[in-house]
Amino acid sequence: MLSPRSVAGQVFLWQLALVVLFAAAAGVALVLQARYSGTQEARQLSLGVAQTFARAPGTVEAMKSADPTAVLQPRAEETRTLTGVDFVVTIDPRGYRWTHPDPERIGEHVFGLREGAAAGRPITQDFEGSLGLAVESVVPVFDTDGEKIIGFVSVGVTVKSVNAVVRHQMPILLGSVGGALALVMGGTALVSRRLRRQTHGLDPAEMTRMYEHHDAVLHSVREGVLIIGGDGRLLLANDEARRLLALPADADRRPVTDLGLEAGIADLLRSGRTVTDEVHLAGDRLLALNVRPVDGHGGGRGSVATLRDTTELQALAGRAAVTGERLRLLYEAGVRIGTTLDVTRTAEELAAVAVPRFAEVVTVDLRDPVLEGDEPVGPSPEMRRTAVHGVRGPWPLSPVGELIRFLPGNPVAVSVQDGRPVLVADLTASQGWGAKAPERARRILDSGLHSLIAVPLQARGVLLGMVNFWRVEQEAYGEEDLAFAEELVARAAVAIDNARRYTREHALAVTLQRSLLPRSVPDQSAVEVAHRYLPARAGVGGDWFDVIPLPGARVALVVGDVVGHGLHAAATMGRLRTAVRTFSSLDLSPDELIRHLDELVTRVDGEGDGGEGDDSEGITGATCLYAVYDPVAGVCSLARSGHPEPALVRPDGTVEHMPVPVSPPLGLGGGMPFESAEFTLPEGSQLVLYTDGLVEDRNRDFDAGIDKLRDALAGPGRTPDETCQAILDALLPARPSDDIALVVARTRLLDPSLVAEWEVPEDPAAVAGIRSGVARRLTEWGLEDLSFSTELVISELVTNSIRYGTEPRRLRVLRDGSSLICEVADGSSTSPHLRRAADTDEGGRGLFLVAQFTQRWGTRYLARGKVIWTEQSLLGMSAEPDADMTEALLDQWSDADW
């Protein structure tokens, strides 16, 4: 029962240890309890004696007497003797002793006592003195008024020894321990009897059979099992473990470090640390080891290790890892290739995605039509190197931009011809790869390139280019690599084809847009113009502007915006710009022009609504701002349809937004009238017209953009071009999401000396005087050569105004740069028309002659009446007409007309 090898013996020893531990704990608790009790009694006694002595009759009078020691010393010694305390000491308020058991200590200074009780309340403290642990109580003594402290009483008591208490209670403790030991021995006997009862009937033979069964199972499993002792010796190894580790026959009981194992395996088995499926190389095998300590609490009593041969599993796992990596690479290719609709950028993304996980160097060659956006026809051995990407460099390969012609017999040329990928696993062993260009092949091999896969880029059966994958440090390509390369290139080919088609559409849209936008600003003297047009990054849009010279030295400034991007937006912009130019040739007021433009858009949208199956796009949503500036009066008339307000920079640099009445976008007017606004502008003012892409962006709202525009415009003394640049520097976003059209026009005023006006009376006889006045003014301007033709034109126009027009009638002659302008205004709305007169007609030839002697002519309607105007060019002024022409002209009037 008491044997430590038996379960009962181990239980007995454990319980015995617990009893001894509990007995020791009880003894310590007993001593501590006795000491605590003694200390508490000492504290109560010292405090009681100190308070009694302090309040005893005569104590206060003695402390106040001339010699307190003489009175208090006998009383203190008497009290100490009667109460059994160790000392009774009285102290004056300054901290000097009046009494002490040792007379030699009377008169000494005691700071601790006086300062501790200075608060006027009793204190009790423990301290370790020469007599051992002691307790001291200090009580203040107050004067008869109860407020002033006249002294202190200190009483100390030594804590009595606890031996007596322990001596009295020790028998009880020992008796308890003995009883506990008896219970332990009885319990152990019961446990031993219980164990014998549980193993009753199990004889040695059966125990042997049980061992043999466990041993058979241990050696039959397909997993190696090792049991290592705490001292690092091999205690047991089954047959599978001996086979996997090639253990010697006498391996049992030998240290694992002496069994000839691999260093890593031996160290792991010797350490006994816990590991799970840790792979080690043993000869040509990969073993997965699991080690667990025998003692779950880490007692160091040994460990059990299991071994499993994972050589084939590792190979399968390696292939699975490669497959998983390829799938991840294909996924990344789908994300990283085709982020833009740029052909070259897409080719670069294809080259970059395969390096370095699939190849060390990748080259992409595209056919020239693909780079230009066109669709190539048939196979071609010529391609343009578009992208090269490698882990390091340089490589002896053709650089980007070089035109490559693949030689016949080259694997790449074969791939181009057949449209199938080609694998050259070992370039050094290939016969046809470098035969046509041995020097170039030698340079490639010397650089370390040893394996190649060439895959044609094909989309919709059309060959777009070639992709070459080269390896340097990785193992040679195999058939699985060929299939993967083909899949990767097939996905990239779709992205490149999409980019090619976008490039073609974008090029068409850009060409169309450039052909529709003004290539240059026409010559005119009304305003000095600077402009900017910035397309969005997303593609060609529908923003536009125009500067249109008008009769009478005036100029029209137009800015418009068509919603959307692409060919439709560009074509719509062109249609609107053509319509505005057409309407402006009719010399309509801004509000009338916007109204006609709105009707045109409404009609076009209605024509495009062809019902189900009609894919045509409307143009509703377009905006336009139309302004006409007259440099003679300095007046600007404006009208807008859904467009932002223009800004005005006055000559002193102040900025304001012109409150032009706003109307719905074009096509949404619904027949409502459009309004215009008229402003008189000082000379040198800058009129700023723009589209909403300038002030509105995805990261900035419209109002914030208007504020920034106002800040950018503030300041005098800038040219229109400088103003444009300042606006773009302040407001242009990094990646514009919308087109930006900007026009800055600085106003000019026509010199009054270049303007002449005459009132036209209703009398036809006044025509001669008016002609004479015009001739004199032409002489002042140095235009005598134009006198004949100008007088003829004025005679015809003024005569028609007198005959067919109404009051008021006026004639105005302007010299504007390279033109001479004649304007005849009257109150009638009827307009003359140019026609071919018959031989028998007496009239109808006047306007024909006007058209012959002028560069152009026309009619402009006013709020009341009209203006007939003509322009004559001052460039290449001709002399008087020949005699035949003179006669023909003079025949048109009678003598009375002259």
The pLDDT, as a whole number, for residue 66 is 86
Q: Say what the pTM is.
A: 0.55
**CA–CA gap between residue 335 and residue 328 (Å, rounded):** 11
* Buried-state track 186-213, b at ≥16 Cβ within 10 A, e below 16: eebeebbeeeeeeeeeeeeeeeeeeeee
**For strand 527-534 and strand 544-550, is the pairing parallel, antiparallel, or unpaired?**
unpaired
User: Helix or strand or coil: residue 816?
Assistant: strand
Long-range (24+ apart) CB contacts under 8 A made by 601-605 are 601/576, 601/666, 601/667, 602/667, 602/669, 604/575, 604/667, 605/667
Residue reference for tokens 């804590």: 159
Q: What is the pLDDT of residues 254-312, one digit of tens each?
A: 888 888 788 888 888 888 788 887 888 777 777 888 888 887 444 457 888 888 877 66
> How deeply is 878 buried, as exposed, middle or buried, from its count of CB atoms within 10 A (0-12, 13-18, 19+)?
exposed
First to last CA, the chain: 161
Residue 271 backbone phi and psi in degrees, to 5: -70, -30
How many angstroms separate the Cα of 806 from the Cα of each of 638, 705, 759?
29, 51, 13
Q: Is the dihedral of CA 543, 549, 551, 553 positive or negative?
A: positive
Q: What are phi and psi of 347, to 5 degrees?
A: -65, -40
Compute the distance between CA of residue 598 and CA of residue 669 in angstroms, rounded to an integer.
7
Q: Give the three-state DSSP class for 511.
A: helix
CA gap 379, 374 in Å, rounded: 14
pLDDT score of 298: 46
Can you give the pLDDT at residue 112?
A: 59
Three-class SS state of 680: strand
pLDDT in tens, 567-615: 777 778 888 888 999 999 888 899 999 999 998 888 887 775 544 444 5
Taking a C-beta distance cutoff of 8 angstroms, is the pair 291, 268 a contact?
A: yes
| 3-state SS class at 572 | helix
User: On the CB side of 353, how many CA atoms lie within 13 Å of its CA?
Assistant: 28
Count of C-beta atoms within a 10 Å radius of residue 10? 14
Q: How far is CA 886 from CA 188, 321, 489, 501, in A?
A: 154, 101, 82, 65
Distance CA 561, CA 622 (A): 6
Q: Among residues 493, 476, 451, 260, which one has the least CA distance to residue 365?
A: 493
Q: Which of 898, 869, 744 is nearest to 810 (CA)?
A: 869
Residue 833 has a pLDDT of 63
Token readout for 489 is: 């290139």
Rounded Cα distance, 573 and 555, in Å: 21
Using alpha carbons, select from 410, 390, 392, 388 the residue that is nearest to residue 401.
Answer: 388
Token duo for residue 317: 């796992």
Residue 893: the pLDDT is: 47
Q: In whole angstroms, what is the distance from residue 389 CA to residue 451 CA?
A: 16
Q: How far is CA 285 from the centre of its chain?
A: 50
Lookup: tokens for 126: 């423990």
Give dist(CA 268, CA 261) in Å, integer: 11
**Partners of residue 88 on adjacent β-strands:** 155
Give CA separation, 480 vs 318, 424, 484, in Å: 14, 13, 6
How is 195-209 classified by DSSP, letter by letter? Answer: HHHHTTT--HHHHHH
Burial 713-736 (b: 16+ CB within 10 A, else e): beeeebebeebbbbbeeebebeeb
Integer-rounded Cα Rg, in Å, for the chain is 58
Unique residue bearing structure tokens 């008896």: 182
Q: Extract the runs of DSSP E, i.e. beta strands, from 207-360.
A: 224-229, 234-237, 275-282, 285-293, 302-309
Residues of the chain with pLDDT under 70: 1-10, 111-119, 129-132, 160-170, 173, 191-212, 214, 219, 296-300, 311-323, 409, 431-436, 513, 537-540, 566, 608-620, 833-846, 876-898
The candidate with the shortest Cα–Cα distance to 624, out of 668, 585, 672, 656, is 668
Closest CA to 532 of 675, 664, 722, 369: 722
At 545, which helix (H) or strand (E)? strand 544-550
Question: Which of these, 160, 151, 155, 142, lies nearest to 47 by C-alpha position?
Answer: 155
How far apart CA 470 and CA 474 sit, in angstroms, is: 10
List own/partner pairs for 243-246 with CB under 8 A and 24 or more apart.
Answer: 244/282, 244/285, 244/287, 244/307, 244/309, 245/282, 245/307, 246/282, 246/283
Cα distance between residue 739 and residue 545, in whole Å: 12
